Amino acid sequence: VYSLDGLLVFGLLLVCTCAYLRKVPRLRTWLLSERRGIWGVCHKAAVIGTRLHVAVSMSCLLMAFYVLVGK
């Protein structure tokens, strides 16, 4: 997380993980019901991941290509 590309990878992983957890019914009520604090950040990341799923998936593919080939 100390460089820009590390921060981008961390952000993409957070958005993808929270969006996946939002699809699981038990975890959705347990983890993502709170909208304040750290759980609020996870809730907002899940909303971003579900609403912008095409852009997030394309960003993940581009980041994977950059990490595997560009670095």
On whether the CB atoms of residues 3 and 13 are closer than 8 A, the answer is no
- Tell me the pTM: 0.81
Assign 1 a pLDDT band (cuts: 50, 70, 90): low
Checking if the pLDDT of 14 tops 90, the result is yes
Across the range 17-44, mean pLDDT stands at 81
- Residues of the chain with pLDDT > 90, as a percent, come to 41
Average pLDDT over residues 33-45: 82
Tokens of 30: 């347990």
DSSP state of 68: I
Cα torsion 7, 13, 16, 18 to 10°: value is -90
Is residue 16 a contact partner of residue 49, using CB atoms and an 8 Å limit?
A: yes
Residue 16 has pLDDT above 90, yes or no: yes
Percent of the chain with pLDDT over 70: 97
